[in-house]
Every structure is written in structure tokens, then in C-alpha cells.
Structure 1
């Protein structure tokens, strides 16, 4: 049999302001020694989508719902292993009478490849027996309805947010959960997944200030001179012949910046461009990373604002640059989806194929935002929070808006993939209304 090792890991847990909360010691299995197909099979653990988190937080702030953050104590130890796994004795706790004996693991231990999945299963099964329903649109979202009151549970591995319209029902469900798992009630969410929730008079600001300082510290740019823009508009991204001497550092910093876009949509376009050169970064690309970090330094107080919205209608902006990449001449799509006045979803991504016209590039961007809005509407409809009004899509290209409603344009779009034309079906059925917006009012322009 394959015998895996283990080690002790010591961590200092800090609060949002950086002060020490507690010191932790945890026994970790050396999962990198596990053999696929023998020690583990499935490893993927579903986690709640960040769009779902922003969506429900927006609704909670608008409707003044009760919010609670929960932490499961040693969550992974609640999972039972389906596979046979043997591990060496923990350092410092070896049996002197039997030094060659090994441990047969019954529970999932931190560090095992299948540990997150093994933990999700007992939690999922228990919630279903309690009366919760698992969302089909987002499998890590659970909802509970009773006498017109609703409670939602957002699960991100062992971090849980519970929110709902009834504080009494939330307390009752918390007592149910506490009978099966050792749960710590942290009260109103203040620091979740590295995101700080700052209360203001106008609502809540989601901030990653501590994470930004951590990235600057890792890059050695804590004392850098700040800039007011994340990227240069005069110099196009072109590959340089001189490779960067530390590609691992490049990948580490750009990967960290990707997580920062959870609350910073203004970084999406610059980070999207940087991610296209992960395999062979050059000195020029590292210079672009440093420019983004200098912008982050000057905008440490920025975050995503969620405020009470007078309406829950969905409207979205889509935009595209045409043949913006000088290397392969592909266009970049960008969109922003609003629930009422709150921004809940956005994207900046290079298109899969080369567009032959600006209308085609904009039409593909419109298809991307239509798919996202369809997903958001299906989630709200499943939770009983959608009231049937049509979603509005705003596009700054007249040709693309005509294309959504006029099949006569087919002669000029035979080369466009069929899957992009589903927007027309949505418009014909009344689910979407596509309107023209002038370029100066195009909010999605920042993503391209």
C-alpha cells in the first residue's frame, strides 16, 4: 500500500485590521504523495459562485435581511473517507512500542486530495434532511422556506454565510446545524474569504484592502509611487524578445491580482491582458504588472459598493473592442450586469474567434452577457425572487442591436457561429429587450 506522510502546520490567524486573532496548529496529510485511482478518485468540491454572493448580499441590503457568518470548527474532519488511506504516525506522537505501525484514516484529514469533497457530502446530506433545498443553478447555495420567510445558505468550503428575512428562523436553523457540526457564530459578516465588509451610511463596501497590502508586500512594492490608471492606453501589448528572469514570481503576482478582481472591476481588463502571457512573460509584461501594482497602491481605499436599491430589475451593458489584440487580432468582450443599482457580475475576456467586423465583435459580446443574464434570472426565479420583468441589455453598436431583432441580416452573418444567435430567440420571446446606448454612456467600456 502507498503510505503518505504528515506534518504539523502552524498559522497565525488575523482579523481584518491585521491584529492577531489566534494561533493555530493543524496536522496536515502530505496529499501530494497520494496516488490517483488508488488513494483518491474525485477531488472537486463545489463552491458558491462569487456572483451568487454579490447577488444575495445586494438583495439582503435592499430588503434589510439578517446576515450571519458561520465558521465550522475543523470542518474537514467531519468527512468520512470512502477510500482506504494509510498515513505515517504524526511527528512527536509516534508509538515507541510500535514505531513501524501506520494510521488507517477513517476521517478526511486536511491536506488530502479528496478532503474538501468528503466534507461537502455530510454537510449537503444534513441540510437536505433538515428541510433545505439545494439550488440547481448554483449547487453550493441552499435555501429554506417556511410561512413566507426565506433563509439562504452560501457555502464556500468551510466558510458559510446565512441570510434571510426572519432572524427567528435563522436562529432556529442555527441550532439544528449545531447539533451535527461544531459551529462558531461570528455574528454579522465582517471578514469573509479575505473580503472585508465595511458598513457605511449608504450601504456596504466590499473591500480587499488587507489583501492588496499583502500583494504589494509580496512584490516588494509597499513604498512604490502610486499611479492613477492601471494600464497605458498608448502602448499596445506586444511580445518582447527579452524573457523575464523570474516567471514564477510573475505568475504568482498575476494570479493574486485575479482574486483581487472580485471587488475591483476596474482591474479586470488589465489583469485579463496580463493573464494571456503566463507561459512566457517578458520584461515588458513585468513592467505592466508593476504599473497595475502602482495603481493598486494609489487606490487601496477602493471597493465594491452595495447599497439599498429602489428596484430589482436587471440591466446589463456589453461592449467590445474590434481586433484589439495586435498578436492574433481577436477582440475583447466586456460586460457589466446590474441588479437594480448594484453591480453584481462583470467580465473582461478575449473572444474565441476573429471577428470580421465591429458589428460581429459587439454581437458576440452581446451573446456573452445574454448567457450571464439568463443564468442570473434562472437563479432568481428558482429562489422565488424574480418578478417576471424583462431584462434590458444595452449595446453601443446599432448593427448588433438590429441583428438581435432582424433575421434579414442573416446573409451577412452566415459565418457567425449558430450559438451566438440565441440572443434573437430571447428577444423574440420577450425575455430580453436590447437597446442602443451611446458610447459616452457605455459603462462596460472599462472592460475593453
Structure 2
């Protein structure tokens, strides 16, 4: 490596290989006749902090799974991803009911799933075993780049949570609830990021110990940053911020040096605990045929779900515009209600 950051990248590569080998991801063998041999490559990425500085250097060994054919080399690949609305809602609960939220990170997430198919890969560049140069890697567990890797990881995590007393939220398959009286815990997962919520710190610690006994986990403390969103906790309130992202966008388009404009809050307007609003615009230009619908839902005084989009059909009256907008808002409020029915706070 000739980069000025080569030392950091080499440490990341060695850490990745160490995790792969300790996980027994593959075994060296001869390539059976008629089997396809896949290549591999290294992917490098910098993980950033909320203030835009580098948190850590990451290296991923990726198998070239794009050469595989669906129905022949792999089958089901579906893996759910938690809705950002779910995360906002759970964080908003901390402002209303004051549970604690801690954060953990799963190291080498996609290496945990068990493979059902026979897959062979070349030995990774820079780590060919001396004396076994002709051997290939038969993958025993998932590896980054495989189409089925996210699904296999999610199946593995589901099994772990279900066998330890948790149930899966019916509306969001990445939210897990342990609703035992006096020991209520919520776990939500996005890829390798994990939030653990409970009013009792002992229950959080018990959940952390359980997860650490099953997976290679890193404890990140009380939640501070999730999916690039900074969580601010002034006294008796809570706020979400992406100021670093806004600054990066402004800098990209050369607007960073503009003067700030402050809009004072209307003191006569008070948010209720649970509210939702929907609206639709008029067609304002002659070449427009569809209106724009929008809605926003608040919880505990802050917005948790919002959307603005073109309507998918052509309405014939202003009343029809409004009913179409109301229908979309109704779908969302039904989802929010059903999601909260499983939340034990």
C-alpha cells in the first residue's frame, strides 16, 4: 500500500482477516469438477464521527457474488431493514417515558450466517497459504458480497433472539421485544448497529451479556450517534441533529458562508402528545397533472414520521385530492399504531 494512511489500512485488513479466520468462515480444499470459482477483492472505507472526523478505518473482504445466478447458485435473498421511523419513535419514547437506550455494534455482521449452498472462492490476495497455493476456499459461513449473506445473518439473529425470550414486532421485523413483567426490553437492529432500550439498567446489562455470549460485540455506551444522526440530550428534553451532514451539503454547493436566519417559535401553538397532519397542494402550473401529498406525525412534541410525494393517480376535484392525501396519512398512522401496540412502555 502506497497511501499516506497505509498503516491504518493494513491494521484494518489484518483485523478483518483475523475475524474471518476465527469465525471459521472457510476451509481450504480442492475445487470439485464442474463448480464455479469466484474471485474476491478488498473494499476500504472510513467510518466517520458526528463532527465529520475519522472514527475508524474499515476493510472488508468481498466475494464477487455478482457472478452467481439466481435459482442456480442462490435462492431467497430477502432481508428486512428497520424503518428510520421506528428508530425515531423509540428515541421519542425516551423523552416521554424516560427509558434508557444503550448502543452496541456487531463486528463482522455478515460472517455469522450459515450457508446452505456450496460456494468456492479464490484465496484472498495477500493471504495465500504457503504450500497450498492450488487450494481454494470452500465457504462454510456467509461472506460480504454474497447475495444471500444479509438474509443468513438475519435468520441467525432471529433464532438467537427468539430462543432467549424475545418476540419480533409484527410491523417491523428488525425490532425485538421482551415483554416479561418488570423486565421489559426492546432491541432494534440496523445492519450491525444495535439499540437496547429498557427502564431498568440491569435488564440492559443482562441483554448485553446475552448478545456478547452469542456474537462478537462492541459496547458503545449510552446512545450518542445512530445512522449518522446525533442524539442530543439537554436537561429534560431530547433532540436529533444532522448539522454535520447539512454543513457538508452546503459546502458541496458553495453555500456554507451564507448568513443564518432564525425563525422564532409561535408561542401560542402547543404540540399535543400524539398528532398527525396531512395536506395536498393545488396544481399550480399548466403542465402539472398530479398534486403533491404530504403528512407529518408527532410524538412527544417532535416529528417522528413525515413524507411529501407526488400522488400516483390523477384526481378530478379538490375534494379527491384531499381524500387521496388522507388515505396515505391513514396508512401511516395505522402502521404507527400497530407498531406501538407491541412496545411495552
* TM value normalised by structure 2: 0.81
Is 1:148 aligned to 2:178, yes or no? Answer: no
Is the contact made by 2:112 and 2:141 (CA closer than 8 Å) also made in structure 1? Answer: yes
Q: After the TM superposition, which residues 356-371 of structure 1 pair with which residues of structure 2 at under 5 Å, given as runs?
A: 356-371=316-331
CA separation of 1:46 and 1:129: change in aligned 2, threshold 3 A = same
3-state SS of paired residue (2:303): strand
3-state SS of paired residue (2:221): coil
**Match among 163, 174, 177 for residue 197 of structure 2:** 163
**Match among 218, 221, 224 for residue 253 of structure 2:** 221
Is the contact made by 1:315 and 1:340 (CA closer than 8 Å) also made in structure 2? Answer: no
- Give distance in 1, aligned partners of 2:182 and 2:54: 42
3-state SS of paired residue (2:75): coil
Is the contact made by 1:323 and 1:355 (CA closer than 8 Å) also made in structure 2? Answer: no
**Partner residue, 1:355:** 315
Is the contact made by 2:96 and 2:300 (CA closer than 8 Å) also made in structure 1? Answer: no
CA separation of 1:148 and 1:310: change in aligned 2, threshold 3 A = farther
**1:277-318 Cα deviation digits (max 9, x unpaired):** xxxxxxxxxxxxxxxxxxxxx69x99xxxxxx9964x32111
**Partner residue, 2:17:** none
CA separation of 1:325 and 1:78: change in aligned 2, threshold 3 A = farther
3-state SS of paired residue (1:333): strand
CA separation of 1:175 and 1:42: change in aligned 2, threshold 3 A = same
CA separation of 1:18 and 1:96: change in aligned 2, threshold 3 A = same
- Give distance in 2, aligned partners of 1:87 and 1:45: 23
**Partner residue, 1:2:** 36
**Match among 55, 69, 77 for residue 21 of structure 1:** 55
**Match among 198, 216, 222 for residue 232 of structure 2:** 198
The Cα RMSD (Å) is: 2.5
- Give distance in 2, aligned partners of 1:382 and 1:93: 48
Is the contact made by 1:315 and 1:339 (CA closer than 8 Å) also made in structure 2? Answer: yes
Unaligned segments of structure 1, at least 5 residues: 228-297, 303-308, 386-448
3-state SS of paired residue (1:92): coil
Q: After the TM superposition, which residues 84-103 of structure 1 pair with which residues of structure 2 at under 5 Å, given as runs?
A: 84-103=118-137
- Give distance in 2, aligned partners of 1:372 and 1:171: 34
- Give distance in 2, aligned partners of 1:324 and 1:102: 63
Q: After the TM superposition, which residues 175-254 of structure 1 pair with which residues of structure 2 at under 5 Å, given as runs?
A: 175-201=209-235, 203-216=237-250, 220-222=252-254, 226=258
The structure with the largest strand share of the pair is 2
CA separation of 1:310 and 1:328: change in aligned 2, threshold 3 A = closer
Shift of 1:65: 0.8
**Match among 61, 64, 68 for residue 30 of structure 1:** 64
The higher-RCO structure (CA 8 Å, 6+ apart) is 2
Is 1:67 aligned to 2:101, yes or no? Answer: yes
Is 1:47 aligned to 2:96, yes or no? Answer: no
* TM value normalised by structure 1: 0.63
**Partner residue, 1:278:** none
- Give distance in 2, aligned partners of 1:13 and 1:315: 36
- Give distance in 1, aligned partners of 2:59 and 2:284: 50
Unaligned segments of structure 2, at least 5 residues: 1-34, 264-269
**Partner residue, 2:298:** 338
- Give distance in 1, aligned partners of 2:328 and 2:255: 40
Shift of 1:202: 5.2
**1:25-65 Cα deviation digits (max 9, x unpaired):** 33221222222223322222211111111111111222111
Shift of 1:107: 0.9
- Give distance in 2, aligned partners of 1:208 and 1:52: 18
CA separation of 1:176 and 1:325: change in aligned 2, threshold 3 A = farther
- Give distance in 1, aligned partners of 2:66 and 2:171: 32
3-state SS of paired residue (1:85): strand
The structure with the largest helix share of the pair is 1
CA separation of 1:166 and 1:331: change in aligned 2, threshold 3 A = same
**Partner residue, 2:289:** 329
Runs of 4+ aligned residues of structure 1 deviating over 6 Å after TM superposition are: none
**1:139-178 Cα deviation digits (max 9, x unpaired):** 1110112223421111111111111121111111111111
Shift of 1:100: 3.5
